[in-house]
Amino acid sequence: MRIVIYGGEAAEAGFYEEVCRKLGTEHQIPVELKVYLSSDALLFDLQNPEFRKRLDVIFFNLTEQNIEVPHEMRDVGYHGLIVLVGGAEMILPYEQLFDTEAYNFVQKNDLKRFISVFLSAAKTVAKNNEEKLSLSYGGEIRQIDIGEIQYFEVQQHTLVVHYGKGESFTFVSSLAKMEQHLKGRKFMRASRFYLISVNAVHKLSFNNALMLSGANVPVGRKFYAEIKKAMDQKVI
C-alpha cells in the first residue's frame, strides 16, 4: 500500500509514519511511505500522472489554513483514498468536504480509530487493486481497470493492451501469461495472436469479433465455438 502522510509538525508526521510502518509489519501489508510537510510540494508531485496512479492513500492533516487543499488534490487528478486527520474543531469542516469524497475522518490522538481506518483502507486498496492490471514498459507504469480492457494483441515480441475508448499500452509479456493471470475473468483466446474480453464483444461471426470499441479482432475457427458459448451464457 503506497501512502502519503501530509502536514502537521515533523514530529507528529513522524509518529503517524511509524504507526503505519508498524501496522504494515504486524498485518503483513507491504507499505511504501512518503511524508510531506508542504502542500505545495505535495500538489506538485500529484501533477505527475505516474505518481498519482501509484498512490493509494493520503493521510491529510486538516486545518483551517489548508481546507481547500483536498479540493486541489482532486482537481489535479488524484483519485485515491483521502483520510482526513484533525482536531475536534475540524469535524464540521470535514462534513463540508463531501464533494472531495474523503474516505474517512480521524480525530487527532484517537489512535484506536486511526488503526481501524488504516486497516479498513488497506482492505479497500487490496480490493481495488484486484480490479486493476498494473503494467510497465520503458519506465512508464500504467494501471488499467480490468473491466475497461477490450483485448490483447501480439506485436512482434511485445503485447498491446487495448482498453477504454481507443487507448492502448505496449508491454513485455505473452498471451499465455495474461490468459493465466486473468483466468476466471472471461478473457478468451480468439487466435494465436489475440486474447479478448468476452464482455467487450459486441458482435461475433465465424471469423471476426466486433468489439464495443469498434475494433475488429480476427477469430480462429477452432476458437469460435468456445467464445460463442461464453457469450450465450453471458446473455442468459
- Does one domain contain both 11 and 119? yes
215-235 pLDDT, tens digit per residue, is 999 999 999 999 999 988 765
| End residue of a domain, out of 130, 161, 194 | 130
Q: Which residues pair with 149 in a beta bridge?
A: 163
| End residue of a domain, out of 83, 104, 130 | 130
| Helix H or strand E encompassing 84 | strand 81-86
Residues with pLDDT less than 70, the chain: 234-236
- Does one domain contain both 114 and 93? yes
Residue 13 domain boundaries: 2-130
- Does one domain contain both 148 and 190? yes
- Identify the CATH number of the domain in which residue 184 sits: 2.40.50.1020
- Report field, pTM of the whole predicted structure over 0.85: no
121-156 pLDDT, tens digit per residue, is 999 988 877 788 888 888 888 889 898 999 999 998
Q: Which residues pair with 163 in a beta bridge?
A: 149, 167
- Does one domain contain both 42 and 64? yes
Q: How many domains does the chain have?
A: 2
- Does one domain contain both 9 and 112? yes
Contacts 24+ apart (CB under 8 A), 78-81: 78/46, 78/52, 79/52, 80/52, 80/55, 80/56, 81/56, 81/57, 81/121, 81/124, 81/125
Dist CA 103 CA 83 (whole Å): 5
Q: Identify the pLDDT of residue 236.
A: 41
